[in-house]
Amino acid sequence: MQTNYALARPRQTLLAVAALLAGASLTFDSAKAHDDGLPVTSGLSVSSDGLKPLRADGHAPIGVMGDHMHNAGEWMLSYRFMNMSMDGNRIGDDEVTPQEIATTVPNRFFGAPMQPPTLRVVPTEMDMEMHMFGFMYAPSDNLTLMAMVNYAEKEMSSITFAGPMGTTELGRFSTRSDGLADTKLSALYRLYDDETNHLHLNLGISLPTGDIDETGRVLTPMGMRPVLRLPYAMQLGTGTYDLLPGLTYTGRSGDFTWGAQYRAEIRLEDENDEGYAWGDRHMVTGWAAYEWAPWISTSFRAEASTQDAIDGIDPNIMAPVQTANPAFYGGQKVDLFLGVNTIGQSGIWRGQRLAFEFGVPVYQDLNGPQMQEDYQFTVGWQKAF
């Protein structure tokens, strides 16, 4: 394995960045710290316990990460459950059937033993569930630190076509992987804050804590059922240290809030221990929310993303299936989301946030054949202390 040592110093880089941000935060005079409460001019009276109402729209939709900062000394715990469902396949922006893939798409491994000329195993459905446990702490009003520990569960269903050609189905099978995914550490640094607008820098690193050697039992075109290393999409992590830069803007006026965010995943190594690296990913999202009452708001969000194909190849991933080909990853897509944010106002529920967001793709141009997204949703809980 050849590693780009000019880039592969993620631990030292993160520590240096954190030190710079912490030092700068001592001299930066922010206009005001993050506050979920309504301003005095809102015209709403305080509750019977003397506390002003909290804003349900004080945070972005639950599907947006690293969207807000905290007061000095404040902690926040969070839990998110995300489900993404995929159904069917595309080449570019055109849908294709399993039969088309099995008879027309070349198998890059053709010529190796037991490898047919075209793809003979076609994935039809995939579900990915992610459990995300978040921790935030603000050492100052201008710096918030964030950690995200993730647990992933993936299941893929596929059709195997009999022999080296034709459209006769031999059978169907499912594979599954689950376990700890990659862990993310980030720092949020305030750049600007006034009565209406807020801007902060997102800078983090992803640690390769997810396995990249998961295996499963498959059905081959010859009717055998060996245990093989699962394709890249079924692995639990990237296997590389990844830089997570971003920039977040939010605004607030009356009952309306809005925001925009850019995020990226930049691989800091040329390849992982198995000989490949996921393509860099860039995402831009924007949202608007309306607060119907202090305890509830609804939101609309659009997100566009682009990702490069996988660079390199794992020599242990070899099968007549599209997910074994590194070139059949990445592409562009646009998703639209509707969300609901709620926050408790009194008693033990005060400050506890429950939120939900549901999204569907409106555009997909994929390096394919590749499985297409059907829908995704996220539900989450947050509580600051």
368: which residues sit within 8 A by CB, 6+ positions away?
A: 89, 90, 91, 92, 96, 322, 328, 331
| Domains of the chain by residue range | 10-384
pLDDT in tens, 79-117: 999 999 999 999 999 999 999 999 999 999 999 999 999
Q: Which of 379, 376, 377 is nearest to 86 (CA)?
A: 376
Is 261 exposed, middle or buried, given 0-12, 13-18 or 19+ CB atoms closer than 10 A?
buried
pLDDT in tens, 43-66: 344 444 567 889 999 999 999 999
DSSP assignments along 309-342, one per residue: PPEE--TT---SBGGG-GGG--EEEEEEEEEEEE
Write down the mean pLDDT value for the chain: 90
- On whether the pTM is more than 0.75, the answer is yes
pLDDT in tens, 174-196: 999 999 999 999 999 999 999 99
Structure tokens at 312: 């390199």
pLDDT of 331 over the 80 cut: yes
pLDDT of 11 over the 60 cut: no
pLDDT of 26 over the 90 cut: no
Structure tokens at 362: 């409106």
Q: Which of 153, 154, 134 is nearest to 144 (CA)?
A: 134
Rounded to an integer, what distance in angstroms lies between the CA atom of residue 243 and that of residue 278? Answer: 13
Answer yes or no: CATH 2.60.40.1180 is held by domain 10-384.
Answer: no
Task: Please state, as a whole number, how many other Cβ atoms lie within 10 Å of the Cβ of residue 120.
Answer: 27
